[in-house]
Amino acid sequence: MHDTSAHAVQHHAPTSFIRKHVFSLDHKVIGKQYYALALAAALIGMVLSWIMRIHLGWANAAIPGLHALSPNGAPGGVLTPEYYLQLMTMHGTIMVFFVLTTAPFAAFGNYFLPIQVGAEDMPFPRFNMMSFWVTFTAFLVLVASFFLGDGPTLGGWTQYAPLNAIGSASGPGQGLGVVLWMISIALFCIGQLLGSLNFISTTLDLRVKGMSLMRLPLSAWAWFITSCMGLTAFSVLMPACILVILDHVAGTSFFVASGLVLNDQVIPHSGGSTLLWQHLFWFFGHPEVYIAIVPGIGIVSHILLANMRKPMLSQRVLIYCMGALAVLSYMVYGHHMFVSGMNPVSALAFSFPTLVITIPATITVLIWVFSLYGSRLRINSASLFALGFISMFVSGGVSGFFLAQPSIDIMLHATYFVVGHFHMVMGVAAMFGIFAGTYFWFPKMSGRMMNETLGKVHFWLSFVGTYCIFMPFHYLGLVGNIRRYSTFVDDFLQPLIPVHRLITVAALITGAAQLVFVYNLIHSRFRGKPASDNPWEATSLEWSTATPPPWDNFGGKHPVVYHDPYQYGVQSSVGDYVMQASPEQVKTDHEEK
């Protein structure tokens, strides 16, 4: 029998509480820690969005508790414009980094990738543990900036220069607040690089006997492709953050141009290139949004297959599409810079691949839709959120076609049209992917089923709610509502305030619906119906082990893989499916070797 002990897990079963639950080397515990971090971050990010939305609808509203957090930023609980921007910046930063990158990739990936390839753990458990705690430290550093005297940075999650490179002259939170942001994100990059290291090594080197690359589940492919993207993207953001820190604390001038006078202060830096920051940031930033969504594509495909009970039209093409998205994502980043003053010819050079990248995205959606056609999809919370993902991805994605064209983007850049686009295609879609993954894998992780009724309530409220929130954003953008404004003083924006109020009401209700999910999560963890090892009758390796899996995943026995991961709709001794690790041979139309 093939002995993998040479690269078997380098740790033994933990005994102490600290080793079991805190500084754990077990990828499953690390995955759950990432999930808990993402959950806490999501709740903070959501509360920030509530505060922003209330202020946008009712500019003079006093928000309880805010005066205590920042007497300068919210005197009497009413947000100043600067404080609005500070909260907006933190909302974006927390959500993009600590929720959308952490939950679908680091949380579910850490938990399930080793199991799905048949390994006992990641090959470098100490680096894995380090990656979580570095990420957690990054989160603490970021949240610490809330408690600075003048608050966190106000320059947007994109932290453009020169606003964010010249120091406190540009506003509250722009001194130490920016430095803390940069340190936090640099730490985050290091954490993600350590994680990517493990993911790539696991996928390439720890696959169990019989598990060829084409027999990997689509979620495993998605995590692998995402980790390759992360490797390339985060290693560019980190040096950029270091250069900004130097501009702040060391008097260098990488990003600050000459001759700036701000608030009657002559800015001492000179000679820097402000556009350089945008190039460095968006070279990371665009792959980052695909890092946020590709795991969701894999997870949703995985869940739909288990619930459709029939194979996809083509698994291989889905894998190629995910790969194409990853490769193309590096060629399109300039579409964030169409109006930055760069050469219009380069705008064309970025617009073309941006339109091309819609092709693999569209093929992915078409494969899903045409695979679903004619299937009898089992309806449960997981499959509902998977369908919701497709809906959000399409609705949010189509507005991208417009933004991809510079001539239209000139009008729509920095309006609510963009905000609606990215919230739907990235924010909501990825959240739905996280929810789908939670409902699907919760039984395996905890040994208990989540409450289906509450799950469906959560789904319908979220689905309708997020459409009510973000569809009007497109209308607002088309009529000229500028983004990143705290109040709408201009004449042409006044008539839009009632729309903002409706959106705010929708946001508060949808936010409350998320508390249903949190309640379900916690209640089911302790009181949920006990789950069997394979409640969904699914085929991939995670369902062939105990629930929850033992510390070495397979109880000392390495599985052997005989089938591809999606043998559904066949006739076998157990039903209409064959598990990957089952030696039983069945008649099948097509099987990956």
Partner 1 sequence: MATTVHEPRHLDPRRAPDHGNGGGENSADGDRRLALDYSPPPSSTAIWVVLFAISMMFAAFTSALVVRKGSSMDWRTFKLPSILFFNTLVLFASSVSLEVSRRRIALFMGKVQEQVESPTRWLYVTLCLGVLFVAGQYVAWSQLRGEGLYLATNPSSSFFYVLTVTHALHVLGGLGGLIYVIRKLGKSSLRRSTLEAAARYWHFMDLLWLYLLLLLWVKL
- Closest by Cα among 337, 333, 354, 481 to 405: 354
Binding mask 274-313 for partner 1 (x = CB under 8 A): -xx--xx--x------------------------------
Q: Least distance in Å: CB of 214 to partner 1?
A: 9
Q: Least distance in Å: CB of 228 to partner 1?
A: 9
Q: Least distance in Å: CB of 342 to partner 1?
A: 12
- Of 42-50, 76-84, 227-235, 501-509, the window that binds partner 1 (rule: CB under 8 A) is 227-235
Binding mask 111-140 for partner 1 (x = CB under 8 A): ------------xx----------------
Beta partners for 577?
Answer: 568
Place of tokens 């609606």: 420
Binding mask 233-272 for partner 1 (x = CB under 8 A): -xxx-xxx-xx--x---xxxxx--xx-----------xxx
- Of 2-10, 149-157, 167-175, 515-523, the window that binds partner 1 (rule: CB under 8 A) is 2-10
Q: Least distance in Å: CB of 275 to partner 1?
A: 8
Does the footprint of partner 1 cover residue 3 (CB under 8 A)?
A: yes
Q: Least distance in Å: CB of 354 to partner 1?
A: 21
Q: What is the 3-state secondary structure (H, E, C) of 172-218?
A: CCCCHHHHHHHHHHHHHHHHHHHHHHHHHHHHHHCCCCCCCHHHCCH
Closest CB to partner 1 among 242 and 355?
242
- Of 351-359, 400-408, 436-444, 557-565, the window that binds partner 1 (rule: CB under 8 A) is 557-565
Give the number of other Cβ atoms within 10 Å of residue 381's Cβ.
25
DSSP conformation letters of 120-131: SS-S-HHHHHHH
Half-sphere exposure (CA, 13 Å, Cβ side) for 107?
28
Are 268 and 248 within 8 A, CB to CB?
A: no
Binding mask 176-205 for partner 1 (x = CB under 8 A): -----------------x--xx--xxx-xx
Q: Least distance in Å: CB of 274 to partner 1?
A: 9
Closest CB to partner 1 among 278 and 364?
278
The contacts found for 240-243 with CB under 8 angstroms, 24 or more apart, are 240/277, 240/280, 240/281, 240/284, 241/182, 241/183, 241/185, 241/186, 241/189, 242/182, 242/186
157 vs 142: CA distance, rounded Å: 12
Does the footprint of partner 1 cover residue 585 (CB under 8 A)?
A: yes
Q: Where does residue 340 rank: exposed (0-12), middle (13-18), buried (19+ CB within 10 A)?
A: middle
Are 295 and 219 within 8 A, CB to CB?
A: yes
Closest CB to partner 1 among 94 and 113?
113
Give the number of other Cβ atoms within 10 Å of residue 29's Cβ.
22
Q: Least distance in Å: CB of 27 to partner 1?
A: 13
Which two three-digit tokens encode residue 436? 């789908």
Residues that bind partner 1 (CB under 8 A): 1-7, 123-124, 193, 196-197, 200-202, 204-213, 231-232, 234-236, 238-240, 242-243, 246, 250-254, 257-258, 270-273, 275-276, 279-280, 283, 560-563, 585, 591, 593
